[in-house]
Copies of this chain bind each other. A is one copy, B any other.
Amino acid sequence: MAVGNDTLPKLLPVPGLRLATVSAGVKTPGRKDLVLMELAPGANCAGVFTQNAFCAAPVAVAESHLGASQAQPRYLLVNTGNANAGTGETGLRDARACCAAVAEATGSDAAEVLPFSTGVIGEPLPVEKITAAIPAAVTGLDADGWADAAEGILTTDTRPKGLSVSFNCDGIDYVVTGIAKGAGMIRPNMATMLGYIATDAAVAPELLQRLLSEATDMSFNRVSVDGDTSTNDACVLVATGAAGNAVEQDAGSALALALRDAVQEVAVTLAQALVRDGEGASKFVTVAVEGGLNEQECLDVAFTIAHSPLVKTALFASDPNWGRLLAAIGRAGLAELDVDRVGLYLNDVLIAERGCRAASYTEEQGVAAMAAEDIVIRVCLNRGDAAASVWTTDFSYDYVRINAEYRT
């Protein structure tokens, strides 16, 4: 199940970056499960990675190689079907072996290869299958490979996710293209499951990292399917420089601001696409909290609602159960919350105020609001000027079925 439109938009090539997607048979024979991306010499790359203490071996190696290559890796290698997480020292050796195989097939250095894995936790990575498929991947590299790659990185996702945005600045045309995967174990912390965004602009490493961190904070760090933070979350932003502009370093420049908007648009669209494709999802829910003392308390309320199993099962049932929403707001840990000032809306319908059902509210209004696939739960704390939104889904029979049957 998934919510809304499932058509992958046309993904534009990013000059200076080529992709290939092949089948290595990591978990399912014949499945296209290995993606190789080649970055032009001199391309800069920024990354954000999971904050989970049990981070996967490829995350540790990718972070290390990103530093070792001075933010100029030449290749990104992504396999699905096996997360190479919970694999200890063996996992680190396996991740490095994959990098070495790419280096050998391309004449690059192993430290210039960043590895990424997603899939089952705790199983040894089938290194031989992956290394055997690398030569075909190298041969297949193509600037037009984004759509295949968007398919190749999926696990329990039901559809690929991607977006391209193009813009002109000072007479030069630029493009930003991104893809992402993830449907469960989704409560990213500084990164999504896996996300790859690239532009042909030339951007200095510090500015690139800042653009990625800001975009991640507004997108992947604002979504939750089930509150579980993956061991493998990673998101990278590549700037190939093929557009030919002078390397941009100034965060306040016209190009930096245009890039910021474009990267955020891609990141937010991808993050929302993760939620729309959430495991068992039948609703796409925006939880918008406003009138808070600061952004953090708005996020605390929003995530408490987004993580409440009682709220999520009510959403699944299209039940305008505002009592469960009030209960979630009440346990979000806000100091000195005056519940009499809290207003609660479903879409534009005021459903509760002054600690109880609004006088104007009718059950029919609530049922009508809940019937839509896209729902906005709006909480007005009425004690400050801060606001924040997160995006989430409902909890369905299918969520239980998928996660009872699937060995992540």
Contacts and interface: CB of A to CB of B under 8 A. Distances in A.
Interface of A: 51-55, 83, 85-91, 120-122, 184-185, 187, 189, 226-231, 307-310, 313-314, 316-317, 319, 321-324, 326-331, 334, 337, 339-340, 352, 354-357, 395-397, 399-401, 403-405, 407-408
Contacts of A86: 322-323, 326, 352, 355-357
A211 to B, nearest CB: 26
A242 to B, nearest CB: 38
**Number of chain copies forming the complex:** 2
B403 A310 contact: yes
A292 to B, nearest CB: 14
Contacts of A396: 400
Contact of A405 (B55, B121, B317): B317
Contacts of A324: 121, 185, 228, 408
A357 B122 contact: yes
Contact of A330 (B54, B120, B352): B54
Nearest to A335: B53
12 contacts: A52-B327, A83-B323, A86-B326, A122-B323, A227-B307, A228-B308, A228-B328, A309-B399, A314-B404, A319-B404, A321-B408, A323-B408
Nearest to A326: B54
A185 to B, nearest CB: 6
B184 A310 contact: yes
Contacts of A189: 331
B404 A122 contact: no
A405 B316 CA distance: 10
B404 A327 contact: no
A88 B331 CA distance: 17
A296 to B, nearest CB: 15
Given A87-B355, A88-B355, A231-B326, 16 more contacts: A53-B330, A54-B326, A83-B323, A85-B323, A85-B327, A86-B356, A91-B356, A121-B327, A229-B330, A231-B323, A309-B399, A314-B404, A316-B404, A317-B405, A323-B408, A397-B401
Given A355-B86, A400-B397, A310 B228 contact: yes
Query: Nearest 8 CB-CB pairs, A to B?
Result: A121-B323, A54-B330, A88-B356, A317-B404, A313-B403, A53-B330, A52-B330, A229-B331
Given A189-B331, A317-B404, A400-B396, A87 B309 contact: no
A364 to B, nearest CB: 15
Contacts of A331: 51-53, 187, 189, 228-229
Contact of A355 (B54, B228, B316, B329): B54
A54 B339 contact: yes
Contacts of A229: 327, 330-331
Q: Which of A52, A307, A340 has the most CB of B within 10 A?
A: A52
Contacts of A327: 52, 54, 85, 121, 185, 228-231
